[in-house]
């Protein structure tokens, strides 16, 4: 039995073939979970999650994360009721508040994200309890609806809800109403101190008697034992892209604004691969290895352990660089 629980993060940076291969590797090597990303208008998260559920036997299947804007809460609940039919007891609803400017571009701007998240989750939880749902919120309205049993027994479904949270207010809300937090990548282990404090503030407000919730975090990983710098550079390019296009992460991962400004002077919007290659030379190895797990197998695995020791119960591997080598080597290290 592996000492370190691990999951795998699959998403739009992988082909579908790579996605299903990684999920099967995780299933066959004792990984705990597979998390399917959905962010840009690149690939839906539900379809791959359902296929992964049908191709695996043991791993939990989570969405990492869907947004609470583009799917009606009743449709979201019945979607996960259906996923639970495909993989009983293995479905996890991971949900976040989406991001700008995409939310506004599709007519769903981020307004009062805490309130809208609270309403959405309360309604989904009521559906999962198989209740008749009546709810009049600012963002969510339900009138005398429940799961329709059709030709099957109508009963509650056990689908945990994890909130994709980074900021202290959303982390606190997660502690108050959810089953877990699914944290984003490019955060150093030191970030967990404040994050756990925020989660604990929320837990103190609970009325259901629960005294703890789960904590997972996506960790960008790249392994190359013959050329560790190549693995570091794969994570460096990814970090550079995010600092250029989603600079709010700089505050969370401890990057000075001056560096972000210099990177943005080089890389346009949207940044091209050539832009990133020119800009990433400004990003030091130390910064990359602070917020990712990269280099040799030992270096990367030790970093995953450091996240676990900081309070992340289950680190979630997101492969970069040589993806097959990275996942295979880290799976071997976890079994050692």
Give me the domain span that covers residue 67: 7-223+292-335
Residue 254 falls inside a structural domain: no
Residue 277 falls inside a structural domain: no
Residue 201 confidence (pLDDT) above 70: yes
Taking the C-alpha atoms of residue 5 and residue 334, their distance in angstroms, rounded to an integer, is 8
Residue 229 falls inside a structural domain: no
Residue with tokens 């339900």: 142
- Tens digits of per-residue pLDDT, 101-144? 777 888 888 889 999 999 999 999 999 999 999 999 999 999 99
Residue 53 falls inside a structural domain: yes
Taking the C-alpha atoms of residue 336 and residue 316, their distance in angstroms, rounded to an integer, is 18
The two most distant CA atoms of the chain are separated, in Å, by 62
> In the numeric block, which tokens belong to residue 128?
């999962």
The CATH number that applies at residue 328 is 3.20.20.30
pLDDT at 1: 37
Q: Which of 21, 26, 28, 24 is nearest to 8 (CA)?
A: 26
Q: Which of 143, 117, 120 is nearest to 132 (CA)?
A: 143
Q: Which tops the pLDDT comparison, 106 or 63?
A: 63
Residue 258 falls inside a structural domain: no
pLDDT at 106: 83
Taking the C-alpha atoms of residue 176 and residue 207, their distance in angstroms, rounded to an integer, is 9
> Do residues 248 and 167 make contact, with C-beta atoms less than 8 angstroms apart?
no
Mean pLDDT of 38-56: 92
Mean pLDDT of 217-242: 97
Residue 266 falls inside a structural domain: no
Percent of the chain with pLDDT over 90: 83
Residue 96 falls inside a structural domain: yes
Residue 303 falls inside a structural domain: yes
Total domains in the fold of the chain: 1
pTM of the shown model: 0.94
Percent of the chain with pLDDT over 70: 99
């Amino acid at each position: 039995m592996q000492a370190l629980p691990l999951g795998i993060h699959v998403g739009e940076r992988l082909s579908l073939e790579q996605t299903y291969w990684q999920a099967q590797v995780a299933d066959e090597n004792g990984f705990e979970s597979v998390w399917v990303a959905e962010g840009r208008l690149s690939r839906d998260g539900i379809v791959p999650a359902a296929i992964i559920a049908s191709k695996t036997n043991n791993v939990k299947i989570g969405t990492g994360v869907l947004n609470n804007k583009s799917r009606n809460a009743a449709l979201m609940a019945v979607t996960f009721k259906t996923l639970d039919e495909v993989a009983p007891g293995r479905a996890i609803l991971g949900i976040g508040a989406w991001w700008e400017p995409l939310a506004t571009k599709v007519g769903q701007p981020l307004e009062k994200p805490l309130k809208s998240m609270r309403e959405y989750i309360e309604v989904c939880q009521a559906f999962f309890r198989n209740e008749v749902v009546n709810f009049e919120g600012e963002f969510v309205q339900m009138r005398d609806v429940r799961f329709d049993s059709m030709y099957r027994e109508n009963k509650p479904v056990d689908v945990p809800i994890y909130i994709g949270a980074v900021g202290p207010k959303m982390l606190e809300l997660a502690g108050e109403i959810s089953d877990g937090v699914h944290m984003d990548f490019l955060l150093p282990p030191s970030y967990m101190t404040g994050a756990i404090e925020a989660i604990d503030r929320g837990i103190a407000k609970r009325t259901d008697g629960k005294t703890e919730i789960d904590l997972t975090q996506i960790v960008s990983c790249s392994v190359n034992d013959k050329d560790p710098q190549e693995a570091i550079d794969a994570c460096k390019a990814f970090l550079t892209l995010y600092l250029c296009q989603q600079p709010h992460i700089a505050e969370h991962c401890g990057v000075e604004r001056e560096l972000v400004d210099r990177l943005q002077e080089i890389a346009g919007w949207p940044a091209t691969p050539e832009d990133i290659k020119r800009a990433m030379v400004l990003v030091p190895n130390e910064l990359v290895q602070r917020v990712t797990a990269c280099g040799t197998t030992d270096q990367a695995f030790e970093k995953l352990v450091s996240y676990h020791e900081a309070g992340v119960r289950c680190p979630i591997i997101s492969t970069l660089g040589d993806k097959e080598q990275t996942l295979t080597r880290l799976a071997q290290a976890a079994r050692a």
